[in-house]
Structure 1
Amino acid sequence: MLNTRRDVSGSLDYSPVGGVREPSEKEPARRERSYLLQTLCRVISILIHYFFTACFIFMTLEALHMYSLVAYVVKKDGMFTRVQNTVLGWGLAAFIIMFCMCFEYDNYGGEYHCWLRMDTPLLYGQYIPVVGSVIMTFTLIEAAGAADYKPLKG
């Protein structure tokens, strides 16, 4: 017959051996290790979300750079310098992630995986920036492909 006991988190634990287990001196260490793993998982989840968002931001910046050269918006070297592109790409992704973290910090990291919890509003913090970036990228690429502009003088 299975007996029940409560583990560190307070949930019921089933043991094939009889008796309720008394708390041991290892439980505070076990709680601390569990907290550290949860924090590490949350940090990994935030970093994955950041880098994933940054990839789409850089894709949009590349489309903007291509459009500015093909459509002769600028004479040469694109609209932004290399440093401006880098700061804008990483900075915009950081702003988006910080905004999401302000409202949904607890929903980073899941029970069984270190990713966003897909059953929470944090899902919109992932989809809205990515879909917006993809729409802008396709629009800029289409505009650059249809460009029949005269080169700038000078």
Structure 2
Amino acid sequence: MPSANDISAADELVITRVFIAPPALVFAAWTEPEHLAHWSGPEGFTTPHYEMDLRPGGRYRACLRSPEGEDHWVGGVYREIQPPVRLVMTHAWESVRGRPGPETLVTVTFAEEGPGRTRMHFRQTGFTSKASRDGHEGGWSSSFDKLAAHLEGPAA
């Protein structure tokens, strides 16, 4: 499957992937909990809890459970929702006390790339360090590998 990763500025992460699925399905995979449960989080992680209020100004919150059983909570606010072409939301990991950490902005666009294929352009900005950006690159890339398998599988 074609994929390209490009990390530009120190506070920005850009990943482009082509999925064998139409844009409406790839968009649904980002916006419907029954899809997110299959791919959200890096390899080995599960998503036992996902709540979302899918509207501009609505919040989302998810628990990503590591293979060791450690829970990592993330949440944010939806800024733009344009099915099936664009999704914009904030993204912040929670501390052990449930307080949001540094907030980044995630913009995902979906474009038809030939019959039954979608080019997804992912951009996350506002990182406070190169290490944070690089850690997210690994996590998102692994998640997108899981997304590709989910979209191509019989349950999609």
Q: Does the alignment reach a TM-score above 0.5?
A: no
- TM class, shorter-length: under 0.3
Relative to its length, the structure with more strand (as a share) is 2
What's the TM-score, normalizing by structure 2? 0.27
What's the TM-score, normalizing by structure 1? 0.27
